[in-house]
Amino acid sequence: MFSKLLKLTLHWLPDRSDLPEGLRIGLPMMAGLLLFSAVGDTASGVNALICAWLVGVQGRNLAYPKRTILLSLSALLCCISSALALLSLIEPLLGIAVLMLIGLLYGLSSNQRKYIQLLTYNAGFSLICAMHLLESDTPWVMVLLSSAFGSWSAMLSAVIAGPWLSIRQGEQLLAKVSTQFVNWCTILGYSDAANVGKRLALREQLDEAIAVLAHWLQEMPDNSAVLKIAKGLRSRMQLIEAMEEIGRIRQQESSEANADALQCYITDFAINFNAIVEQGAPLPDLPQGNGQHPTLTAIEQQITAAILANDPLSENWRALLKLIWPSDADSIRSQWRKALQKGSREWHHGLRILFTLMCCQLVVALLPFQQGYWVTLTAFIVMMTAPLGQLQLRIWGRAYGTILGSILALAMVWYFGTGAWLEPATCITLFLAFATYYKARYEIHVFWITVMMIFAITLLLPAEPYIAFYRALDTLTGVILAVLAMYLFIPSWTKRWLDNYVCHFIELEQRWLQSIAEGKPDLALRWQAHAALRQLSLEISYMKLEPNNSARELQDWQSFLWLGLTLHCTLVVLARQGQHPQLQQACNQLQSWLPLFRSRYKPQWCVIEQPLLTSDDVHLWLAQDLSQLYAWLYWQRPFQLSSTIEHH
């Protein structure tokens, strides 16, 4: 019982690896708060704290050269947004109009990389805070100074260690790739249709770690340490390919003994991987002979070469990384084109955010909220994501974390009063709030930031004991408005967009298969196709969180994920075997699948044409009616991959 309680408590505390990030983000926040509080302007101190938070969290996992550029831009946008808030002094509607425009851009950028989307997020957040401070008669000079100090001090805190820690950062990123590779290999040995979602989720974590390292390598200059890390990344990518092939061969193996032997090999390789790489431990023996697939011999040679990593890097290794993981500029252009298409999910999300912010401003103007700007801020925070299931999870996490944090903080303030304990408690909770920012469960971060804000508000305004309660009430009001907008204003049901993700995946697979048939397998297409399948899996996981989905429908999509993953791994095995002119027929079949899929809801649709019955015999009519009825009943079963179905 005690161990379970301890484990639960530790789950709500930051991970050890996040402690340096908590210090990096927390120190400039506390500096801004204390500096402006010392000159008698606590409101500007809170603004400096918020701007330092906005810029600081954006630097996670970015190479130091990229941090300098991106965080400088982010700090500049925070200052510009604070300056634009001055328009509200001329005419309040002008400030609201600027906020609506930023909200629309915020929604349109929801398909961008997280640190790119945070640029619009930071701009909107800074604008809301600055407008509130100006409304509360804070001098405009102090608003601008606090925004500048908070944002630029956070930028300096994020990059100051660059000259000494750049290579160490790359080594840490490579170690993270190795950790995620081992986690993925662990499930690879026994994956099936039932846990395909978990396998794809672990692969997504692995590819995210690889993408971060790839972007780090693209930003770093050529030297021996960087090239060594690049060789380490190449080695992991070759091992991923080899393990995918072994997993696919195991899946198709008719001999149970051979399949078990391959499963044991994958498990042993994962368990001993660190010892093999770091200490030179011997590789486990890959089962061969005894009817095993002949491709295993070539796979074993590839694994050995990947572990030794003696081959020099190709001259265009950076260009290859850029093909697989495009640069920020290329990614922004391609994602922006998708977002601006008529009827896109991003347009809907941008309009939903605009409508929600407008409703929040209206509610704040009509009702006597003590901390009304928190209503707008809360709605702005929780509506970061477009998929309804993900948005719903984020909103409930916000409400859950706010309620628990408010109960704890208000109870402590009521019991202990407003004594000297508040200052160290605020500093500790400030550190915990931003050391848990990267926790998988969003409510943990919300819990600590709620406690921190209530302590800070009570510390700054001890004469108004109910101000912390009003802050919690404002947050819950913002959550309620976001929920109403989520369900009532252009709701983004995931099933509405799934077909696009399916077609994108099949198109990439078809193009990759075509390149294999021509004897020129396109490595970039292979990684892009797997990324498309993982994105589809992510969307399906969001759909599971939404209402009005049947068990049959979810089972059908789970089966499709397994079929798609099986197809992809088959092409990985085929790519090793050279040119295959006979694969052209398979290319045509895969290409023909798409129009059938797109038109599957149309009347009279069928993969195989059904002849019409022209007989005058009513008995035959009855037989046909009964057969159609049984055919209808058969189609009501979910499509699933199991031994009971396959043996029929």
pLDDT greater than 50 at residue 597: yes
Contact 376, 398 (CB under 8 A): no
CA dihedral of residues 270, 274, 277, 278 (deg, nearest 10):
-170
* CA 500 – CA 509 distance, rounded (Å): 14
The pLDDT confidence band at residue 643, using thresholds 50, 70 and 90, is: very low
Q: Is the pLDDT of residue 374 over 50?
A: yes
Interatomic CA distance for residues 316 and 239, integer angstroms: 20
Averaged pLDDT of the chain: 82
* Residues 601-616 pLDDT 10s: 776 555 555 555 555 5
Higher-scoring residue by pLDDT: 3, 303? 303
Q: Which two tokens stand for residue 519?
A: 């004897």
The answer to whether 567 touches 509, Cβ cutoff 8 Å, is yes
pLDDT tens digit string along 187-205? 887 777 678 888 888 988 8
pLDDT at 133: 86
22-81 pLDDT, tens digit per residue, is 678 778 888 888 888 888 887 888 889 889 988 988 887 788 888 888 999 999 999 999
3-state secondary structure 306-353: HHHCCCCCCCCHHHHHHHHCCCHHHHHHHHHHHHCCCCCHHHHHHHHH
CB 534 within 8 A of CB 207: yes
Confidence of residue 7 (pLDDT cuts 50, 70, 90): low
Give the global pTM. Answer: 0.82
Instruction: Please name which of 108, 112, 110 lies closest in space to residue 100, comparing C-alpha atoms.
Output: 108
Whose structure tokens read 């692969």? 203
Residue 329 tokens, joined: 């500029």
Judge contact between 102 and 92, C-beta under 8 A: no
Q: What is the pLDDT confidence band of residue 644, given thresholds at 50, 70 and 90? A: very low
| Residue 427 amino acid letter | C
Closest Cα to residue 547, out of 479, 482, 600, 491? Answer: 491
Select the more confidently predicted residue: 225 or 65: 225
Question: Which one is predicted more confidently, 32 or 17?
Answer: 32
**What is the C-alpha separation between 566 and 247, in angstroms, rounded?**
10
Residues 6+ positions from 186 with CB-CB distance below 8 Å: 267, 270
> Tokens for 302?
């590839």
First and final CA of the chain: distance in angstroms? 48
Using one digit for the tens of pLDDT, what is the confidence trace for 88-118? 888 888 888 999 999 999 889 988 888 898 9
